Structure 1
Amino acid sequence: MDSRRAKQIAANLVAVRERVERACDAAGRDPADVTIIAVTKTRPACDVRILAELGVTDVGENRDQEAAPKAAECGDLDLTWHFVGQLQTNKARSVARYADVVHSVDRERLARALGARARSEGRRLSCLVQVDLDPGASAGVIGPRGGADPRDVMAVAEAIDAEEGLVLGGVMAVAPLGADPDAAFARLSEVASTLRDRYPHATAISAGMSGDLEAAIARGATHLRVGTALLGDRGTIVG
Structure 2
Amino acid sequence: MSSEPPESHSAASGHSVASQAAQEARRAELAANLARVEERIAGACFAAGRKREEVTLIVVTKTYPADDVRLLAGLGVRDVAENRDQEAGPKAAACADAGLTWHFVGQLQTNKTRSVAGYADRVHSVDRARLVSALSNAAVRAEREIGCLIQVALDAESGSVGERGGVAPDGVMDLAQAVTDAQGLRLDGVMTVAPLTGPLAGRPRAAFDQLSEISTALRAAHPAATMVSAGMSSDLEEAVLAGATHVRVGSAVLGDRPRLR
Pairwise TM-score range, normalised by the shorter structure: over 0.9
> 1:183 aligned to 2:206?
yes
Q: 2:191 aligns with which of 172, 175, 193?
A: 172
The letter for the 1-side match of 2:250 is: G
Instruction: Quote the offset at 1:112 in angstroms.
Output: 1.1
Alignment of 1:189-204 (within 5 A): 189-204=212-227
Give per-residue Cα distances to partners, 1:56-96, cap 9 Å, x unaligned: 01010000000000001111111100000000111110000
> 1:35 aligned to 2:53?
no
- Partners of 1:191 and 1:151 lie apart in 2 by 9
Instruction: Quote the offset at 1:235 in angstroms.
Output: 1.7
Aligned to 1:234: 257
Aligned to 1:24: 45
- Partners of 2:29 and 2:101 lie apart in 1 by 23
SS at 2:188's partner residue? strand
Alignment of 1:31-180 (within 5 A): 31-136=52-157, 140-177=159-196, 178-180=201-203
The letter for the 2-side match of 1:213 is: L
- Partners of 2:258 and 2:83 lie apart in 1 by 16
Instruction: Quote the offset at 1:189 in angstroms.
Output: 0.6
Give per-residue Cα distances to partners, 1:116-147, cap 9 Å, x unaligned: 110010000000000001114xx854233111
Q: 1:211 aligns with which of 218, 224, 234?
A: 234
Q: Is the 8 A contact 2:154 2:162 kept in 1?
A: no
Q: Percent identity?
A: 59
- Partners of 2:255 and 2:159 lie apart in 1 by 34
Structure 2-normalised TM-score? 0.88
Instruction: Quote the offset at 1:219 in angstroms.
Output: 0.7
Give per-residue Cα distances to partners, 1:161-181, cap 9 Å, x unaligned: 001211000000000124200
Gaps of 5+ in 1: none
Gaps of 5+ in 2: 1-19
> 1:8 aligned to 2:8?
no
Give the number of the structure whose alpha-carbon radius of gyration is greater: 2
SS at 1:97's partner residue? coil
Residue-pair matches, total: 234
- Partners of 1:109 and 1:161 lie apart in 2 by 14
Q: Cα gap change, 1:174/1:9 in structure 2, threshold over 3 Å: closer, same or farther? A: same
The letter for the 1-side match of 2:145 is: R
Displaced runs of 4+ in structure 1, greater than 2 A? 139-144
Structure 1-normalised TM-score? 0.95
Larger RCO of the pair (alpha carbons < 8 Å, separation 6+): 1
SS at 2:58's partner residue? strand
Q: 1:225 aligns with which of 248, 253, 261?
A: 248
- Partners of 1:163 and 1:24 lie apart in 2 by 35
SS at 2:225's partner residue? coil
SS at 1:92's partner residue? helix
